[in-house]
Amino acid sequence: MRAFLVCVMACATLPALAGELEQVQGLEIQPLVSATRRLLAALDAVGAPLVGEDREILESALRSTQAEEGAAGIQTALDRHCLVQVTINPESRVKVKPGPALKELVEQGWRTFLVKVHNEAGVTAVLRASSPNAAPLHQPSEGSPEPKVTVPESEVIQRFLDLDLYYKPPLKENLSGLPLEYCILQIYCRDRGTREATLQFDVGQGTQDLGFRNEVALLFRCVPAVEVELEVLDHDGRPTIGWFLVRDALDRVYPCPSRRLAPDFFFHDQIYRGSGESVRLPPGTYAFEYGRGPEYRVLERTITVPDAPSHRESFTLERWIHVAKEGWRSGDHHVHAAGCAHYESPAQGVRPEDMMRHIVGEDLNVGCVLSWGPCWYFQKQFFTGKVHESSTEDYVMRYDVEVSGFPSSHAGHLVLLRLKEDDYPGTQRIDDWPSYDLPILQWGKSQGAVTGFSHSGFGLQVKSLELPTLEMPPFDGIGANEYIVDVAHDAVDFISAVDTPAQWELNIWYHTLNCGFRCRLSGETDFPCIYGERVGLGRVYVKMPEGRLDFEKWVEGLRDGRSYVSDGNSHLLDFAVGGVKVGERGSGGIVSRLDLDQPGPVIITARAAALLPEQPDPEIKNRPIDAHPFWHLERARIEGTRKVPVELIVNGRSLQRVEIVADGTIVPVRFEFAVERSSWIALRILPSSHLNPVFVEVSGQPIRASRDSARWCLQAVEVCWKAKESGIKEPERAAARSAYDAARQRYAQILSECAAD
C-alpha cells in the first residue's frame, strides 16, 4: 500500500537531542513555509488537524523572519507526531527507526501519523509504505483477476492493518529530492488490544537496506471503538435485517472492506445488520445509507458517534412497494456460497448462516444456494434435499446444484433445483459426470427436480437489437447453448435472465416459444460471480397462496410460469389474457392456456408499477447492452420523462404499448388484441421486467408462429453441434449425436407445420 505524502524541504543535519529526531539547519525558509502550509491543509482534510501547543509553535515558526529559528520551530512541532524516521543513504538504501509519536491505534478506525524522511540520495521516486500485517486477506489466484483467499485461518489474526496513501492536491506524490521531507501516513486497525506491526519503507525495487534495516517493529495499543447498537425496524415496526453503508467525511467505508471477515464480505461496501446487532465505530460523524432490497427506498442519515463505551441508533425502513403482501414471493435461483469473489478459500467458502443473512437483508424470500465445481466437495455437505434449517415463515434457503466446472460445462451451465440426490448415478468425482447436458437434465427431472440454464446469454451474443433476430449466435459459450437441443426433448423447465444482456437471453427463448415450446423464464444474479454487489439483483416473482412460504409450491410456480422476471425496480402483477391468469389452470385444465373456437379479440390486463428517480442517470442509460447492469429500469426510461413503456408482446413482437409514470404507484394496464392464429402473449418493461406467457390456441391448433423461427432453430442445432462436438467425450458422442438428430427432426416437423410468418 502507498502512504499519504506531503513534502517539506530542508537541508543539513544537526545531532538529535535525547528522545528526539535529528534537527536540520540551513533551510531556505520560503519553500519550507509553503510546504508546511500544504501539510497543515492536508492534515485538516484528513481530519487530523495540528492543535494546541504544537500548533502555536508551528504558527510562530511560520511567521519567523529568521530561517534557522523558523526551521527549528517547524521541526520541533512536527517531529513529535512522527511515527518513524526514514533515511535514504547516498546509495539509495532505505533504513527506518521509530519516532516519538504515541503508538496508539483505534479499533475499526484510522489514525494519522507523520513520517520524517532524510533523503541523502536526492531520490525523486515515490516513497512506499507496506507491512506484512497489511497484506491482503483476499488476492487474485494466478492467471485470474477474481479475488481468492490464499491466507490460512491461522494467519488472519496477523492481517489486522491497512496503510493508506493520500496524493491528492495540494500534496505531491513523488519525493522532491531535497534532504528532508515529511509524509502523512494513515493506519487502519481491525482489532482492539495490544498488537505488534512491522512497517516497511522503500523507494523502489532494490532500495531496501541490508539486514532488515528498512523495517521497524512497533508495538501499538489499539483502543476500543464505540459499540454502536442498531435498532432496525421494518416498515411495519417489526425488527428485521437491513443493509447499511457507512462512510466518514473522507468517503472511507466502515468497517474497512479489506479487513472484513464473514458474515461481512470484503467485496461489498455495505454490511448487513439485524435489530439489536452492532457495528463498531470510532467516535466521529458518519453518513449512513440504508435499505433492504429493491422494493425499499434508499434512505440517508448523518450519525454522530460520541466518545463513550456504547451508543444506540434506530432506523426505520421504508417500502415503495410490497408485492409479497400481494402474494408474489421473490427469489434468486442462482446464488453461490463459494468461488468467484468470495474471500474464503474458493475450495470451501462461507457457511449457510452467512448466506442467510444476505438473503434476508435483501428481502429475498427464496435463495437457492448452488454448489458448483470449485467448492463442490466442501459445500455439498450442506445439501440435504430439503430447505435449510435456518429458513423461516417468510424466508427460505435451499442448497442445490449448478453444473458448472463439470465435463458438460462447455455445453451450458445447468441449474438443478429441488434435487433429492445431488450425485449423478455411478459417479465418484466431478470428472465422472456426462459431458453434454441432456442426460443430466433427464436425471434431474426423473427425481422431480426443476431444471434450467443459467447466465443464458453467454455464447448466444448477437449484434442486432431486434427481438427476435434471425442473426445466428456462435453457440460458443457457457450459457443456454444446448438449450436449443434440450427444449426439443422437453427436458428443460426454464431459461434464466437478468445476468446477461436481455437481447441475447430473450432471442433464443422467443424463437422456441414461436415453435410451440413452453419453457419458462426465470431471474437470477449468479452471485457473486456475475453480480457481486448483492444477492437478488435479478429476481423471479412467483404468485403464491397465502400463509407460510412453501419452497415446493414456489419452485412449482417457477416451473409453471406463474411468475415474472424483474430487477426489482418494476413489477407486472396479476397478468391475464381473456380471463386466464398466467401460471394458473386455464382451458382444459392446462396451465396458462386459453382456447378460442375461432379468431377474435381478447382482453389483456395486468397491474404495473415502477420506480425511477426524478432525475435520469445517463451513465446507466447510455451504456452498451453488454455492460453491467444488463437489466436496469433506467435503460427503459422514455427520454426526458419519468415514464417507462409497458409493451404487449405477441409471438415475440412488440405490437402495442402504454406508458406509465415510474413513481412507485401501481396502476392498471389494459390491451385489446385480435388473435388471428395460435399465439403466445406476454408483457414486458424492457430491460427491467418480463412476464411469462399465456398461450392462446385457436381452433385447437398448436402454436406455430413463425417459419423463420423454425428455420432459425433448425440451423441453430447444427451450429451448436459444430461448437460442442469436440468437448463431448468419445464414449458419449454417439448418444449425443442421436439427441441432436432428434432435435433436428422435431424442428423440421415444426417447420413443415408452420403456415406463414
Which pLDDT band, with edges at 50, 70 and 90, does 139 fall under? low
The CB density around residue 142, as the number of other CB atoms within 10 Å, is: 6
Q: Phi and psi dihedrals of 485, rounded to 5?
A: -90, -45
Q: In this structure, is residue 323 part of a structural domain?
A: no
Q: Quote the DSSP letter at residue 535.
A: T
- Domain CATH code at residue 33: 2.60.40.10
Q: Are residues 216 and 358 in the same domain?
A: no
pLDDT at residue number 146 = 44
By three-state DSSP, how is residue 446 classified?
Answer: helix
Average pLDDT over residues 543-550: 88
188-193: average pLDDT = 93
Amino acid 409: pLDDT:
97
Q: Is residue 321 one of the residues assigned to a domain? A: no
Residue 346 binned pLDDT confidence (cut-offs 50, 70, 90): very low
Q: Which comes out higher in pLDDT, residue 517 or 164?
A: 517
The confidence score (pLDDT) of residue 17 equals: 43
Q: How confident is the model at residue 210 (pLDDT cuts 50, 70, 90)?
A: low
User: Is 447 a domain residue?
Assistant: yes
The parent domain of residue 651 ranges over 569-700
In this structure, the answer to whether residues 391 and 435 fall within a common structural domain is yes
Examine the pLDDT at 54 and tell me if it is beyond 50: yes
700 vs 77, 510, 513, CA distance in Å? 92, 22, 17
Verify that 81 and 204 share a domain, yes or no: yes
pLDDT at 549 over 80: yes
The string of pLDDT tens digits covering residues 240-255 is 999 999 999 888 899 9
CATH of the domain at 562: 3.20.20.140
- Say how many Å lie between the first and final Cα of the chain, rounded: 62
> What is the reported pTM?
0.86
Q: Is residue 514 domain-shared with residue 410, that is, in the same domain?
A: yes
The model's confidence at residue 382, banded by pLDDT at 50, 70 and 90, is very high
Among 179, 203, 223, the domain-final residue is 223
Chain segment 605-614, per-residue pLDDT in tens: 999 999 999 9
Judgement on whether residues 290 and 389 belong to the same structural domain of the protein:
no
**Is the model's pLDDT at 211 over the cut of 90?**
no
Which whole number is the average pLDDT over 386-399? 97
Mean pLDDT of 161-189: 85
Report if residue 6 sits inside a domain. no
177 versus 657: which is more confidently predicted? 657
Q: What count of Cα atoms within 13 Å lies in the side-chain half-sphere of residue 469?
A: 15
Measured CA to CA, the distance from residue 560 to residue 612 in angstroms comes to: 30
The H or E element that residue 721 is part of is helix 707-724
How much is the pLDDT for 125?
A: 92
Instruction: Name the residue among 81, 95, 71 with its Cα closest to residue 23.
Output: 71
Mean per-residue pLDDT for 615-633? 95
Would you say residue 248 lies in a domain?
A: yes
- pLDDT for residue 557: 97
Instruction: Check if the beta carbon of residue 200 is closer than 8 Å to that of residue 124.
Output: no
pLDDT score for 144:
41
pLDDT of residue 252: 86
Average pLDDT for residues 30-58, to the nearest whole number?
Answer: 86
Mean pLDDT of all residues in 629-652 = 97
Per-residue pLDDT tens over the stretch 693-724: 999 999 999 999 999 999 999 999 999 999 99
Residue 65: pLDDT over 90: no
Q: Report pLDDT digits (tens) over 730-752.
A: 999 999 999 999 999 999 999 99
Q: Among 223, 248, 283, which residue terminates a domain?
A: 223
Q: How far is CA 92 from CA 12, 82, 83, 89, 182, in A?
A: 18, 21, 21, 5, 17
- Note the pLDDT of residue 258: 79
Q: What's the rounded Cα separation, in Å, for the pair 287 and 450?
A: 44
Both 505 and 631 in one domain: the answer is: no
What's the pLDDT at 307? 93
Q: Chain-wide mean pLDDT for the chain?
A: 91
Number of domains in the chain: 4
Q: Please say which residue of 223, 253, 270 terminates a domain.
A: 223
pLDDT bucket at 22, cuts 50 / 70 / 90: confident
- Rounded to the nearest 5°, which phi and psi values hold at 483? -55, -35
Q: What is the pLDDT of residue 13?
A: 39
pLDDT of 410-420, one tens digit each? 999 999 999 99
Q: Which of 118-132, 220-234, 449-463, 502-516 has the lowest average pLDDT?
A: 118-132
Confidence of residue 176 (pLDDT cuts 50, 70, 90): confident
Q: Where is average pLDDT lowest: 156-160, 235-239, 296-300? A: 156-160
Do 215 and 80 lie in one domain? The reply is yes
User: What pLDDT, on the 0 to 100 scale, is given for residue 6?
Assistant: 35
Looking at the predicted structure, is the pLDDT value of residue 20 above 90? no
- Sheet containing 128-130: give its strands across: 104-106, 215-223, 193-202, 128-130
Residue reference for cell 397462496? 545
> What is the per-residue pLDDT across 82-113, written as a single tens digit (0 to 9) for each?
999 999 999 999 999 999 999 999 999 889 99
Of 512, 535, 511, 509, nearest in space to 522 by CA:
509
For 695, the grid coordinates are 398461450
Neighbours of 245 (CB within 10 A): 17
At residue 757, the pLDDT reads 63
Phi, psi of 376 (to 5 degrees): -55, -50
In the structure, what pLDDT confidence band is assigned to residue 502 with cuts at 50, 70 and 90? Answer: very high
User: Strand pairing partners for 244?
Assistant: 271, 290
The mean pLDDT value for 457-476 works out to 97
433 in the same domain as 496: yes
Predicted local distance difference test score (pLDDT) of residue 3: 37
What gap in Å lies between CA 182 and CA 694, rounded to an integer?
Answer: 72
Q: Please indicate, yes or no, whether residues 525 and 553 belong to a single structural domain of this protein.
A: yes
What digits encode the pLDDT tens for the residues 354-366? 999 999 999 999 9
Exposure of 175 by Cβ count < 10 A (0-12 exposed, 13-18 middle, 19+ buried)?
Answer: buried
Residue 578 CB partners (closer than 8 Å, separation 6+):
594, 596, 602, 603, 604, 694, 696
Contacts of 444 (CB under 8 A, 6+ apart): 414, 416, 419, 451
Average pLDDT (50-55) is 88
- Please state the rounded mean pLDDT for residues 627-654: 97
CATH code of 294's domain: 2.60.40
Mean pLDDT of the 38-53 span: 84
Task: Kindly write down the DSSP assignment for every residue of 541-600, as one continuous string.
Answer: EEE--SSS--HHHHHHHHHHT-EEEE-SSEEEEEEEETTEETTSB-GGG-BTEEEESSSE
Verify that 594 and 532 share a domain, yes or no: no
Residue 513 and residue 574 in one domain: no
Q: What average pLDDT does this structure show over 475-488?
A: 98
Q: Are residues 671 and 723 in the same domain?
A: no
Question: Has residue 7 been placed in a domain?
Answer: no
Over residues 473-486, mean pLDDT: 98
Each residue of 591-606: pLDDT tens digit?
999 999 999 999 999 9
User: pLDDT digit string (tens) for 259-307?
Assistant: 888 899 888 999 999 999 999 999 999 999 999 999 999 999 999 999 9
